[in-house]
Structure 1
């Protein structure tokens, strides 16, 4: 069903991750999938399995981005009208893409929860079929085709690690891998899910033994920011997924930076969660490992912020305040010192009128680029030794 729809995405070897893990690591590039994420797989299978009468009544979905685009494209390919409720303030590229795929986009409020309520009300009023982003057997089956592709591309795969939000992706992948390996009589593949620590519903749910709602904190990984697992996906994850680990915002930003610099892949924060798990955890990942890059739909403005966050966490980007005597040449001398230390000055703001400054003092706010944590620490220590009053933000 999907062979003419979904692109068989490449599996690329990562030398840097392989060295860090101590065995072969590969990246499954679903960021290169149609619509920029794996979501087209599940959305297409779900809509394709509707009856003609159901498709004639249209479909409706609620999403902040990737599911919206998957439903919009799948519906247009199957000749079905799609209405998508998106939160007000959703990234403009995602809104534009959803409309370009043929869906009508509506904005009922600022949160995904409000969009879900509006979508269900629309379904009840119009008879349109609600396409759940993860908690449906057809959606899970569609996402599971990634697992079958991995087995074709890397028959001896031992571990697959990828992002978990509501659980549709990893429950589908785990189901497909378990069934395929059982049929061929081979060793089972270990499956590990990675959730953003600020939106980690699965660890709490697995500990409680049932789907549990947690309070979601703001996270850059908005694509997996889900407060409660699905009923179906909870059961599948509890049965088939070997572990669900959490990753910090710092790990997510460093993983995204790694994907861009070392793998040459543009990935959204949620899409880099599997890589973040490999970088952050000493979990016993049996090799060969496949990390899923589940999506690449990132707003350019967010990308610039996340990259800066990742550079700062890696010690390669600093925001520094320095007090100087307000006299000619003081700033030039400071900048010369930085140049001699091999520090690149990205931005400078010169402040004279601040309540905390004494008369005859100025404060310089600088954005600096360094070669890493050791270089940063050495440069700051050298400046302080020269008598500069330095504060690192």
Structure 2
């Protein structure tokens, strides 16, 4: 089965992005491609998309050694460095147009986190000191967003790091000061940066992040993670995001092991609780539904949720030694192979709608649809989870 993951990674995902998404006219990669593989050459290009492309190809080169992947990583890095990096105020812009002209210059903490994730991974395969310097500079930018009184990181700022009215990551999110999603994707790059840069401030910041998840974001009465919070860590609603729940299981575990987290047994129990509570989202066909919001169940089967379900339950099985979790992961992988992978045209569909049909209204690649969740799932299986095949 390991061969399946490598074939999907190289032929279905990475091959797709190399064949269809290289923007030879304007540099970097195109901003969008639809379900029928029609490229939108004029699409806006996002920092998150480009950071995830860089991370994916850098990680793929590190694991598989194909020089084409390093070439793609350099392509992504060079575009980011030229068009997204703000050399006056630090950090990266949110988006540029197809020619590289800045559209939104806000500083979203989430985007800084993903760019740090990408740069730290790229440094692993290049060893170039200037790339590590850029990664450290992004760490410093993220630390600017920290709430020194109440803890955690605020969502967004103006270009010059001042307060901004609309802090939302996307239109579907709430306009709240702090979110689980952003904290998860600061935790993630901090773990990666710690692998290449030994620094006491970074270590302490990561320990505080883990403690925030344990004490503020995790709800022991439900076994789920809260999503949106005010400055005082009051949660705004009881929405359950199954994909984020199960993604947090393995990202928290890796973070805790990287810093030698002292309360590891308590954390293990919490992660087991989150994994068990998330079983409520699993369906008979092996898929994981999207969320429960205000009592309404959203049964759409998103690509990223399925990818994180595979990795999350594989790690949950590794952490707890519970075979049921491993079975959930493989059941989900079977669902992905049958219903989400586009075997003819490449990549994965955005989702399957509640009625089971393919979601053709969302892009196969775009502002949010990147080779990161599904590519990373394949790479985690190849690099860290082969013993559980």
Taking structure 2 as the reference length, what is the TM-score of the superposition?
Answer: 0.25
- Which has a greater percent of helix? 2
Greater Rg, structure 1 or structure 2? 1
- Which has a greater percent of strand? 1
The structure with higher relative contact order (CA 8 Å, sep 6+) is 2
Taking structure 1 as the reference length, what is the TM-score of the superposition?
Answer: 0.25
